[in-house]
Amino acid sequence: MAIALALDLGGTKVESALVDSEGQILPGSRARRLTGRDSTSENLEDAVAAVLNDSLKSAHRVRIDGVGIGAAGPVNLDNGTVSPLNLPAWREFPLVDHVRSFVDDLPVAMQMDGLCITLAETWKGAARGFSNVLGMVISTGIGGGLVIGGAPAPGASGNAGHIGHVQVAGFGDPECFCGGRACLEAIASGPSSVKWAQGQGWEGDSGEQLALDAKAGIELALRAIERAGRAIGLAIGSASCLIDLDAVVIGGGFSRVGSRMFDAVRKGLNEHDGFEFSSRLQLLETSLGDAGPLIGAAALIHLPNLVAESKH
């Protein structure tokens, strides 16, 4: 059975695993290290090296066919570099070359993490059977990716689907790390929701605590989550009007703060229900959990005919 080494680079962690051609992570192959905004370039390079080495050590008696990378954006597919907004130490960092230094002559493919997640959901997850799909990650940042007409749609540079950086009206004018204002990520990500709640008098300090307080019925926490969800729903509605989507699949740590989040997303989405093509959109929760990014990165190797243009 074909095996891919999958790497997922995000704003809070980097993970790797061996994934077979059925989209299953091989037991004992998954490795994780923390990243974060305060990481130096050397910290990040070491973290990537550590997880790759850990996964490779587990590869006894299996042949690895290639390496798939899903990276927080922006990415540059022409030269294999990444400039993740939430990892300021890396600007045009040659991630593909860095990974190649550990895997000899294996083929290496990279795409933005949002596209990898969308590929995972259409291949093995909640969006199987849908042809026009937006996948979203609601976490430290807000990312996304598109499958259009059953094929990945990375765009001219590989950054299509970056829904976290569309502007959403009606939530003030918060500044975003991208340099814009009122971006969805600056309104509805985990850290942005925490910051808003703190500004209203909430005394917690993390998205996890916000979720716990919401489950306990604390009003400010509920308001923060409902605010984030409505903003996400409005952004999805706008994207659907532009792209004519069949489905949106939502995952990521902050999306799992409770049912109030998805209720609010639906409320925001319903504000765009004037068009029949928009109102038929299916809003789905990930069925792959936190394995989705790794499964999607592996899809870059296991589905070569579908994603051949992503290889370097």
**pLDDT value at residue 59:** 79
Residue 85: name the closest of 15, 159, 31 by CA.
159
CATH of the domain at 34: 3.30.420.40
pLDDT of residue 15: 97
266 and 135, same structural domain?
yes
User: How many Cα atoms occupy the beta-carbon half-sphere of 201 within 13 Å?
Assistant: 4
Residues 93 and 160 in one domain: no
> Do 104 and 210 belong together in one domain?
no
CA distance 7 to 13: 11
Residues 208 and 302 occupy one common structural domain: no
| 280/295 same-domain check | no
Query: CA 288 to CA 292: how far, in whole Å?
Result: 5
Q: Give me the pLDDT at residue 104, please.
A: 83
Instruction: Report how many domains make up the chain.
Output: 2
The single residue listed with the structure tokens 């192959």 is: 29
**R_g of the chain computed on alpha carbons:** 19
Both ends of the chain: CA-CA distance in Å? 23
User: Is 38 a domain residue?
Assistant: yes
Domain of 67 in residue numbering reads as: 3-112+291-310
What pLDDT was estimated at residue 311? Answer: 40
* Residue 101 covered by a domain: yes
Quick one: 201 and 236 in the same domain?
yes
Q: What is the DSSP letter of 312?
A: -
Mean pLDDT by 10 residues, the chain (312 residues): 94 95 96 95 97 91 92 93 95 97 92 94 95 93 93 92 93 91 95 96 92 92 96 94 93 85 92 70 92 96 70 40
| Residue 66 and residue 12 in one domain | yes
Verify that 74 and 207 share a domain, yes or no: no
